[in-house]
Amino acid sequence: MTEQALGDIQRPSRLLSIDLLRGLTIGFMILVNDAGSERDAYAPLQHAWWNGFTPTDLVFPTFLFLVGITTVLSLGSRMDRNVPRMTLFWSVLRRAVLIYVVGILASTFPFTHLAGMRFVGVLPRIALCYLIVGSLLLISKSWKDKVVILAACLIGYWALLRFVPVPGYGVPTHDVPLLDRDGNLAAWLDRWMFAPQHLYERTRDPEGLLSTIPAVGTALLGLLTGLFLRSQHALRTKIMGIAGAATVSILLGLLWNITLPINKKMWTSSYVLFAGGLSMLLLAACMTLIDIPAERESKLQRSARSRFFTPFLVFGTNAIAAYVLADLLEEILSTIHIAGHSLHHVLWYALRNAIPDIAFASLLYALAYVFVCWLIIYQLYRRKIFLKL
């Protein structure tokens, strides 16, 4: 594939598959984040404790992967219209700052524990990755330099973890295990930068600063996929290309896993490749399911198909709003107290006492929670209100 094929981008019709996958991702994210009891949830609905992988560990990288894709689709169309690069950069910077600020505000709501404010997290990581990949796209539309930067992110992060001595612990693989939970360079940097009350796990943070380097790699996988989607190739060729790249990425991730374990909380390079490959496969599946039929359908048929997928498109078209809503609603349920117990506690134990199987009760609570969030976001969707930062 030539650089020309990816550089001379066209203006394709909107791919509903992206909104579909984003909606599925957000829905599943809410499901696993807001279970009745995370500790008692079914194993696939929990994160791997350390090394390893569960379906839940695919949620965040898939969303970051989609951030990379939509960055290309959004900025690419404006670059086609010859909007000045500096104007676009300020737009990218503004959006990144807004996402970061919203993330900080959402994580500190209802603002009663500001002393424990967390400066990193899901939305702050998305903001940083978006700022970096958006800037890289504005510098050059070439796919080759993005591949080089991707490799540098993954290999560089591995080298830092493998060869740099960790203060107080020693040399990785010699004095301390390579991915010791607290005795790794990423965790040490978290503790050096932030006091314990500002870290998600007190001694480390899964969205810490150093692991943002490979997270940028995840977004770059999306950026490269987005460039390919904007190429002149036929839709079926794009699907086959994405599926092929996914297979290679998964195999590379599994091979690297032998020496650098797949680990979501460390966002290891093997995890980037493995999860990124799975995200590509999911995208290819969604494209086959919704975009391929749309090519040969009438406008009426496409409208009917779109309505069929509406339950998923609701979250997909207001993704960040849905995520923030789910966070705020959980905080509200935890803040309101009835007879000395939080409303979350009251609702959860009412369901738990009615259903003997705790894991099943936890799942039902999570499904009900997703449905409540969906009903609220649906009011925006049916009024064609799409909140964009």
Residue 15: the pLDDT is 80
Longest dimension (CA), the chain: 67
pTM summary value: 0.91
Q: Which two tokens stand for residue 319?
A: 């993704």
Residue 10: the pLDDT is 45
Summarize pLDDT for 167-200 with one digit per residue, the tens: 999 999 998 999 999 999 999 999 999 989 899 8
Residue 3: the pLDDT is 42
Residue 4: the pLDDT is 41
341 Cβ contact partners less than 8 Å away, ≥ 6 residues apart? 349
Residue 137: the pLDDT is 95
Q: Which two tokens stand for residue 320?
A: 């960040």
C-alpha to C-alpha distance for 291 and 68, rounded to whole angstroms: 20
* 4 contacts 232 by C-beta, under 8 angstroms: no
3-state secondary structure the chain: CCHHHHHCCCCCCCCHHHHHHHHHHHHHHHHHHCCCCHHHCCHHHCCCCCCCCCHHHHHHHHHHHHHHHHHHHHHHHHHHCCCCHHHHHHHHHHHHHHHHHHHHHHHHCCCCCHHHCCCCCHHHHHHHHHHHHHHHHHHCCCHHHHHHHHHHHHHHHHHHHHHCCECCCECECCCECCCCCCCCHHHHHHHHHCCHHHCCCCCCCCCCCCCHHHHHHHHHHHHHHHHHHCCCCCHHHHHHHHHHHHHHHHHHHHHHCCCCCCCCCCCCHHHHHHHHHHHHHHHHHHHHHHHHHHHCCCHHHHHHHHHHCHHHHHHHCCHHHHHHHHHHHHHHHHHCEECCEEHHHHHHHHHHHHCCCHHHHHHHHHHHHHHHHHHHHHHHHHCCCCCCC
* 25 contacts 59 by C-beta, under 8 angstroms: yes
Residue 360: the pLDDT is 95
Peptide bond preceding 110 in cis form (omega within 30 of 0) = yes
Amino acid at 317: T
Amino acid at 250: I
Q: Which two tokens stand for residue 118?
A: 């967390």
Q: Which two tokens stand for residue 343?
A: 């409303």
Domain ranges of the chain: 3-382
Q: Which residues of the chain have pLDDT under 70?
A: 1-14, 112, 297-306, 389
C-alpha to C-alpha distance for 29 and 38, rounded to whole angstroms: 13
Amino acid at 75: L
* 279 contacts 62 by C-beta, under 8 angstroms: yes
* 37 contacts 362 by C-beta, under 8 angstroms: yes
Hey, how many other C-beta atoms are within 10 angstroms of the C-beta on 294? 19
